């Protein structure tokens, strides 16, 4: 199996992660994630950070609380709820040591590929989607305050 090495251009927030430390206000002395009502990092059979955060946003902001993926139409309803959020989580760095991103727009360029970036069009798309408002609503719902002052374009990589 091959290794992917991808470039990512995203608009949003870098939240950090367990390995390199969380980049959020209230992080512990060694960069530990502060206590969050919707996430139990020590739960042995619970979801990880990203899954827990996504489920919390879907329930809180998109009123999607279904948990039976076998129900007819479940994935269509989930997809519609995710679209209403206007934000998503992504990871960079590597699969073993993820850094978490909360983004409103993302472009991935895979190894060996070249992508032309129309930055003016991207800026217009982000503005038209009211991305800053949606990102702020997600951060408010999660109770997370990034150390990054505002949403920005971030260039990052993924190896995995």
Question: Chunked in runs of 10, what are the mean pLDDT values of the chain (160 residues)?
Answer: 83 95 95 94 79 96 95 96 97 92 97 94 97 98 97 94
> What pLDDT sits at residue 44?
63
> What pLDDT sits at residue 46?
64
Residue 94 CB coordination number (10 Å): 16
Give CA–CA dist 131/129, Å, rounded. Answer: 5
Tally the domains of the chain. 1
> What pLDDT sits at residue 45?
66
Domain residues for the domain of 33 are 5-159
For 22, the token pair is 């969380």
For 158, the token pair is 């993924």
Give CA–CA dist 49/79, Å, rounded. Answer: 20
> What pLDDT sits at residue 152?
98
Instruction: Say if pTM beats, i.e. exceeds, 0.75.
Output: yes
């Amino acid at each position: 199996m091959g290794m992917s090495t991808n470039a990512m251009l995203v608009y949003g927030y870098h939240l950090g992660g367990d390995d390199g430390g969380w980049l959020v206000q209230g992080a512990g002395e060694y960069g530990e994630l502060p206590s969050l009502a919707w996430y139990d990092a020590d739960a042995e059979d619970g979801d990880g950070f990203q899954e827990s955060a996504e489920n919390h946003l879907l329930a809180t902001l998109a009123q999607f609380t279904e948990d039976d993926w076998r129900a007819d139409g479940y994935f269509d309803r989930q997809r519609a709820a995710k679209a209403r959020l206007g934000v998503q989580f992504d990871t960079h760095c590597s699969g073993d040591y993820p850094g978490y991103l909360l983004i409103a727009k993302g472009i991935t360029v895979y190894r060996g590929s070249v992508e032309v970036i129309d930055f003016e069009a991207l800026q217009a798309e982000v503005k038209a989607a009211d991305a800053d408002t949606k990102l702020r609503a997600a951060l408010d719902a999660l109770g997370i305050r990034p150390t990054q002052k505002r949403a920005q374009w971030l260039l990052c990589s993924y190896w995995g």
